[in-house]
Structure 1
Amino acid sequence: MTQREKVVEHVSQMIMALGVKSVRMDDVAGSLGMSKRTLYEMFGDKEELLSQSMIYLIRQRKRCLSEQLAYCNNMLEVLLESVRHLSNYGSVQEMEKRLAFNLKKFYPNVYERVKREHTELGIADLQYALDKCMEEGYLDPMVDVELMARLFLSTSGVLFTEDNIIIPDGVSREEAIGAMTVNFLRGLASEKGLKVIDALLAREPRPKTLAERRMMNN
């Protein structure tokens, strides 16, 4: 690992622990035992350092998720199990949402750069996964994979970044995006793919519909 990579990793940990607003170049330099001048020579300015550190966090999370899903038998299972992991880590999602909010408020240029990087990585990953599903016969051959990947990422991203999206009471954002993802994949699936989806969904209790939730509350 190069010195630059060590700095990026260290600052990414500071961001997770303290938030972007609390990261100061003096503190970074002091904690790493280097001069602030060296830090600026390496990154140019604080925004570049924050950008690189946030992008590192995005890629690190992707690596961790890939390791957690190594047991899956095919790419369609990977996509569906990713949804389950998402639903189980709501606190992580909320923390990332706060990070994004503060980044947008205090460092809008960094926010836009990281958002673009995150979106393009997400589209590339989802398109790759859907292409693999197509090769394995789990998707309808008429599906436009690139179009569906871009539409889905732009829609699902809004659920996590926009507070003005109205979600029914009692439904978390993670549940909402999980339901949307399952129905998205069902809409793309071939008969072979539908069997895999139904088999995986059968392992977990069926989520209650809004009507069932209302009846329980009456």
Structure 2
Amino acid sequence: MRKKILQKSAELFLNLGFKSVTMDDIAHEMAISKKTIYVHFPNKTKLVEAVTFEVFETICEGIDGISNTSLNPIEQLYDIKMFVMQHLKDEKTSPQYQLKKYYPQIYQRLHMKQFEKMHESVKESLQKGIQLELFRPTINVDFISRMYFNGMIGIKDEQYFPKTLYATEYLMESYLEYHLRAIVTEKGLLVLNTFITTNQS
């Protein structure tokens, strides 16, 4: 039952936002009593926390799977972008913004976990790209990895990138290409251009 509550809550939170979904809403959607939810989660904050890190772990597992099977680091980054977008495709709100506003402590913990995960993953990808001569050997792997994370977080800030001007898909696609063009070798540029030409979204 705990797993089912987490799944339904995640769906509702991503679609409607952390603030607007109540425990009553979740109970109603699942056709169970509110008491049943409280057996597993003593309050809404604990439920939000559990959902947040459950979704995070699911995405991490998917990223690890892609990283282990991708042909090269350029395709790997695009595959990860597609996976994350599909996983969060139904979100109608800005979950991270709401989390930051209404549950700042949970947001801070998630933010650090996201950084740790992405920092390590991107560093490995960059090093692999250097070995395959797709990325320039002179790049500072640690610096580029931190910049990449900072940019990915930055493009989600609606204050600077309002949804009325920029679709999420466009932002992620453009930022990824911007990032890669800054670090590829001539060989890498051929791979990147070929990939973009054959996979126009």
Tell me whether the two structures share a fold, i.e. TM-score over 0.5: yes
In 1, distance between residues paired with 2:144 and 2:72? 20
Q: Which residue of 1 aligns with 2:103?
A: 107
TM-score (norm 1): 0.68
Q: CA deviation at 1:100?
A: 2.0
In 1, distance between residues paired with 2:37 and 2:84? 43
* 1:127 and 2:152 correspond: no
Give runs of aligned pairs for residues 142-161 of structure 1, distance below 5 A: 142-160=138-156
Structure 2: runs of 5+ lacking an equivalent: none
AA aligned opposite 1:154: N
Structure 1: runs of 5+ lacking an equivalent: 208-218
Q: Which has the larger radius of gyration?
A: 1
CA contact (8 A) 1:123 1:153 kept: yes
CA contact (8 A) 2:15 2:90 kept: no
Q: Which residue of 2 aligns with 1:176?
A: 171
CA contact (8 A) 1:127 1:146 kept: yes
Q: Which residue of 2 aligns with 1:56?
A: 54
Q: CA deviation at 1:64?
A: 4.4
Q: CA deviation at 1:94?
A: 5.5
CA contact (8 A) 2:135 2:188 kept: yes
In 2, distance between residues paired with 1:194 and 1:93? 33
RMSD: 3.9
Give runs of aligned pairs for residues 62-101 of structure 1, distance below 5 A: 62-64=60-62, 72-83=70-81, 85=82, 92=89, 95=92, 98-101=94-97
| Cα 1:124–1:170 shift into 2, 3 Å | same
CA contact (8 A) 1:12 1:57 kept: yes
In 1, distance between residues paired with 2:37 and 2:163? 51
TM-score (norm 2): 0.73
Give runs of aligned pairs for residues 161-200 of structure 1, distance below 5 A: 162-165=157-160, 171-200=166-195
Q: Secondary structure at the match of 2:97?
A: helix
Q: CA deviation at 1:157?
A: 0.9
In 2, distance between residues paired with 1:168 and 1:14? 21
2:41 is aligned, of 30, 39, 42, to 39
Write out per-residue CA displacement over residues 106-143 of structure 1, whole angstroms, 9 at most, x where no aligned residue.
22222222222223222222222222222322211111
Q: How many residue pairs get matched? A: 196
| Cα 1:5–1:66 shift into 2, 3 Å | same
Q: CA deviation at 1:182?
A: 1.1
Once the two structures are overlaid, the 10-residue window that deviates more, 186-195 or 13-22, is 13-22
